[in-house]
Amino acid sequence: MEYVPPLNGDLGDPDRPYVNANPAAGTEGSIPPAESFEHPQREILEVIAHYLGAQAPDGGDLTQLRQAIQQAIAEALTQADGPLAGLPFPTVETAGNRLTVTPASAAAGGTVGVAAGTGIVLGEVGVSAGLGRLRRFETAAFVSADLTANATHYLRARVEAGALELYLQRGADTDPTPAGLVGTPGAAAGGGFDSTRLDALLARVVTGNAGTVPTVTALANADRLGSYGETALANYQQVNDELSGDISIALNWARRPISVHLSQSDVQNSTSYSDMDRRIFDVAIDRYALTAHFGHDYMANGKAWWSACA
């Protein structure tokens, strides 16, 4: 495709712009050639037909160019088979990398639903053992079967027969990763393992008594998860020259952090001291939160720095 200039204007300039007529200023409006209408349409139709099929162009569907672009991206992300360990972790294509999961009450422990149209990138097993490829899908509308009451369920996604499958499996946060890296739809245990390269942990779903609405914790999925900041200490106390307090940082990730850094913000409240003790203890880390207790001598503020990544 090339730029098609108007038929009038500065004919010596092949890049001359289109201008609107302004009779008061004596400016002639641009005269568009037929190619300026025809060529963009044919170029767009070529993309639609190439990615959606020769019979796809439909004047009643004005989303076809977007569909074609999405298909092009999906094909680009479909790699040749490589080692599973080399695949990135799953990604949910939203601003916070979390899937919107909607709970509802039911006769049993309730249900959860997912709307159509959210992109999820995750791995698929290849044709040979130990190999896989990266795929991109969009969620189809999904509503679970009635969930078991008073239980912990996990909403997960995997690739089954070439298509994205959303499913629920009961389990616990301490469940180990299965040898095959994927869960078992509908199983009564084992579903609480972290996201793997082949199976995305999308949300924890805790049900109560029959007829109540489940509690959903959506979990972030991305190949690299990270967060950092400075936060005020909770339960802050300062007795003489000793400060103490707690931090509790919500993470809600699909994988447990593999690296965490904690430090006290250093603002001294004295220049005359015989020693300075710094203590960070009662540290607890999981995929949902980072908590710790700080103790520090001769400090004037109640803040701490933290960072985590997975």
Q: Mind listing the domains of the chain with CATH numbers?
A: 33-77 (no CATH), 82-218 (no CATH), 226-309 (2.60.40)
Over the stretch 150-198, which tens digit does the pLDDT of each residue have? 999 999 999 998 899 999 999 999 999 999 999 999 999 999 999 999 9
Q: Which of 296, 111, 278, 79 is nearest to 211 (CA)?
A: 111
Give the model's pLDDT for residue 300: 56
pLDDT on residue 11? 95
Would you say 222 and 205 are in contact if contact means Cβ atoms under 8 Å apart? no
Residue 298 has pLDDT above 80, yes or no: no
Q: What is the pLDDT of residue 255?
A: 97
How does the average pLDDT of the chain come out, rounded?
A: 88
Output the pLDDT for position 237.
Answer: 72
What's the pLDDT at 310? 95
Q: Which of 61-70, 136-145, 149-158, 189-198 has the lowest mean pLDDT?
A: 61-70
Distance between CA 184 and CA 28 in Å, rounded? 70
Does the pLDDT value for residue 233 go beyond 70? yes
- For residues 108 and 296, the model is more confident at 108
Single out the residue of 192, 189, 187 nearest to residue 203, CA to CA. Answer: 192
Burial degree of 191 (CB within 10 A; 0-12, 13-18, 19+) = buried
| Average pLDDT score over residue span 204-231 | 95
Read off the pLDDT of residues 103-134 as tens digits, 9 standing for 90 and up.
Answer: 999 889 999 999 999 999 999 987 677 788 88
**What is the per-residue pLDDT across 20-50, written as a single tens digit (0 to 9) for each?**
999 999 999 999 999 999 999 999 999 999 8
Burial category of 287 from C-beta neighbours within 10 Å (exposed 0-12, middle 13-18, buried 19 and up): buried
SS (H, E, C) the chain: CCCCCCCCCCCCCCCCCCCCCEHHHCECCCCCCHHHHHHHHHHHHHHHHHHHCCCCCCCCCCCHHHHHHHHHHHHHHCCCCEEHHHCCCCEECCCCCCCCCEEECCCCCCEEEECCCCEEEEEEECCCCCEEEEEEEECCCEECCCCCCCCEEEEEEEEECCEEEEEEEECCCCCCCCCCCCCCCCCCCCCCCCCCCCEEEEEEEECCCCCCCCEEEECECCCCCEEEEEEECEEEEEECCEEEEEEEEECCECCCCCEEEEEECCCECCCCCCCCCEEEEEEEECCCEEEEEEEEECECCCEEEEEEEC
Which pLDDT value is given to residue 208? 96
